[in-house]
Every structure is written in C-alpha cells, then in structure tokens.
Structure 1
Amino acid sequence: MLAQSSQDVRSAGDALVPDQGSDNSQAYLETLQLLERMHRLMLDLVKDEFERLRRNDLTPVQALLLYNLGEAEVTAGELRSRGMYQGSNVSYNLKKLVAMGYVSHERCDMDRRAVRVRLTPAGQEVRDIVRRLFMRHADGLAMSGVLDDPPIELVNLQTRRIERFWTDQIRYIY
C-alpha cells in the first residue's frame, strides 16, 4: 500500500479519505467509483437487452460469462481471470450454463481435476447477442464523439496501467 502523510488523509468513519488538496487522489477515488458504477450499468444493459428479446433464462452475469468465453476452450479459472464477475460464483454459473445447454465441458487429459469448457451453438447465439449490443453502443458512442476526447485508446492505456498496478499489489501481498 502507498504511504501517505497524515496531512493528505483524513478519517471518515472506518475509511481513509484523501484530503481535498490531493487532486490525483481525488481523481483516483472518483475513477474507482466510476468503474464500479459502469460495471453495474453494463449488467443492467445486458439485462435490459435480454428482457427486450424476451430471453429471461439467463442472468446478466451468465450472459457475460458466455460472451467472455467466446471461441476459446478454457478452464473455469482462466475464464474467471478474463472478466469481472462481481458477487458471482463462476463454478456455480458454469454448472447452470452446462445444465441449460449453453456450455459443454470435459475433463482435461493432463489434469483430471480440471474441466475445460466451450460454448455450444446455443451459447454462441447468446455471445453474438451480447456482441451486437456492445457494437451498437460502440457505434453510438463513436457517432456522439464521446470516444474522441480523450481518445478511448488513451483511456484504455491508463486503465491497463491501473490494472497492472493492482495485479502487482495482489502479488506483493502473497
């Protein structure tokens, strides 16, 4: 964890809140809140799309699992590391998706404890629904100019840097 002077931090209940004078700290905290809200909104967008299509058999998290699985054949651990499944149990959702016929699975030859999963044709259909939804949003954002200032590539670069920092912090703990 980064050390801060007592002048830069004030207590708010159990949380430490950077002082108003620390612009970078304030912007970082705002980014954290935005990331969380955007994730929740993304789940709501997926939910609304499936409700519009009268497909109520999947949760938004399950639909995103199918989307993130894509064309790959991976283990549950690999799938978990690819996406954000806040408050969800990947193994539980994979079992449900197998039972519903969206995912097929088989034991790995090398490690019989591991199970490799891949999309069935029904799972590919769901993946394509989510992909089309995201592409419509990308087109709308591009037309509005939202992705131009700052360029979305620079936003992604900064986000990847934060992701790398967080990953290093987790590795440092263990």
Structure 2
Amino acid sequence: MSIHPDLDQPDGRDMSPARSAAFMDSYLDALNLVERLHRLLLDVIKDEFERVGLLEINAVQALLLFNVGDNEVTAGELKSRGYYQGSNVSYNLKKLVESGYMHHERSEIDRRSVRVRLTEKGRGVHVLITRLFRTHSEGLMDRGVLDQEGVEDITVALRRVERYWTEQIRYIY
C-alpha cells in the first residue's frame, strides 16, 4: 500500500501541516463559541429574571431548578451531569433550600447523601425557564436560524466531542 506524500496516515486521512493547523483553528473557535454560548445563556436567563422581577436567585441556580424538574436527585448526580462547572453545586443547593425553592431530605440508607426536589416555588421557576426555552426554540425555527435537522446535527457533533473528551479523561491514567 502506498501512502500519498500529503497524507501521513495509511487510512487516507490528510494530516498535512496546513490541514492540521486549519482544523486546530476551527477546533479552538468551536471551544470559544461553546464557552461564550454558556455565558450568554446565563445572561439571557438573568435578563428574563430581571424582566419578571425575580431577583432572589441567579441564573446558575435557575438552571439547577430547571434540570431537577420533576425528579428527586442527589447533589452528586447534579455534579456528575456537569451542568454547573465554575459554580459550587452544594452552595447553590443550600441557598435554594434556604430560599424555599427546594426540599432536601437525608437518605435513610446513606445518611451522608441528601436528596433534593423542587417545591412549588421551585416548580414556578422551572415553568418560567421552560417557557423561555420554548420561546427560543420557536424563534429559532420561525426566523430560519435552525431547523430540526440543524439542531440534531449540532447535538450529534457535540455528543461526539463529549464522548471523545470523556474517553480522554478515563484513559489518561
């Protein structure tokens, strides 16, 4: 089997320096975009809270409430889902319990484990965020920003990156 001079790999993948550098540039752009999008999401939630006069909780806490939804979960489960990087999940859960947005209860089996679920007040925030996200999804479709296939393509690509990164963490040791 001969290897093309511009191809470093016998399987035909182009690993030329120019292509590798171009991919690296695109990869870094994508990483920056993901980070900016997360910060923008928090800003959008914060703006919605200011609009409706809900100033008692922050956007990260709102996402916690949204992601708990109708479930009863532990702090560890929320952390493992990875939604709250850069924030202290335990601190935010404590604040949400103190503010009446969540119930917490020690596990009968493992007293170190605390399970949380939304109160009526917490469900109200969940509904507010659900409406906000529904408005966004309809706006993206109505304005032709994204269609169903586009969202699915983005999701598939992001899941592949997530899987790759997860494998990197698992196999580094």
Same fold by TM-score greater than 0.5: yes
* Secondary structure, aligned partner of 1:151: helix
Task: Report the equivalent of 1:152.
Answer: 151
Task: Report the equivalent of 2:89.
Answer: 90
Distance 1:77 1:149, change over 3 A: closer
* Secondary structure, aligned partner of 2:87: coil
* Secondary structure, aligned partner of 1:71: coil
Question: Could you tell me how far apart the structure 1 residues matched to 2:82 and 2:20 are?
Answer: 35
Distance 1:98 1:28, change over 3 A: same
Question: Could you tell me how far apart the structure 2 residues matched to 1:104 and 1:66 are?
Answer: 11
Q: TM-score, normalised by structure 2?
A: 0.85
Distance 1:104 1:149, change over 3 A: closer
Q: Does 1:33 align with 2:29?
A: no
Which protein shows a greater Rg?
2
Question: Could you tell me how far apart the structure 1 residues matched to 2:55 and 2:148 are?
Answer: 37
* Secondary structure, aligned partner of 1:84: coil
| Structure 1 residue 148 displacement after superposition | 2.9
1:12-51 aligned within 5 A: 22-51=21-50
Q: Does 1:169 align with 2:172?
A: no
* Unmatched 5+ stretches in structure 1: 1-6, 9-18
Question: Could you tell me how far apart the structure 2 residues matched to 1:127 and 1:93 are?
Answer: 16
**Structure (1 or 2) with the greater strand fraction:** 1
1:78-157 aligned within 5 A: 78-148=77-147, 151-157=150-156
Question: Could you tell me how far apart the structure 1 residues matched to 2:68 and 2:21 are?
Answer: 40
| Structure 1 residue 27 displacement after superposition | 1.4
- Equivalent pair of 1:80/1:90 in contact (CA under 8 Å): yes
Q: TM-score, normalised by structure 1?
A: 0.85
**Structure (1 or 2) with the greater helix fraction:** 2
| Structure 1 residue 149 displacement after superposition | 8.9
Task: Report the equivalent of 1:13.
Answer: none
Task: Report the equivalent of 2:59.
Answer: 60
Question: Could you tell me how far apart the structure 1 residues matched to 2:36 and 2:28 are?
Answer: 13
Question: Could you tell me how far apart the structure 1 residues matched to 2:149 and 2:25 are?
Answer: 19
Amino acid at match of 2:84: Y
| Structure 1 residue 92 displacement after superposition | 0.3
| Structure 1 residue 21 displacement after superposition | 5.8
- Equivalent pair of 1:68/1:82 in contact (CA under 8 Å): no
Question: Could you tell me how far apart the structure 2 residues matched to 1:173 and 1:91 are?
Answer: 28
Amino acid at match of 1:78: E
* Residue-by-residue CA offset, 1:152-173 (whole Å, 9 max, x unaligned): 1011000000011111111123
**How many residue pairs align between the two structures?**
158
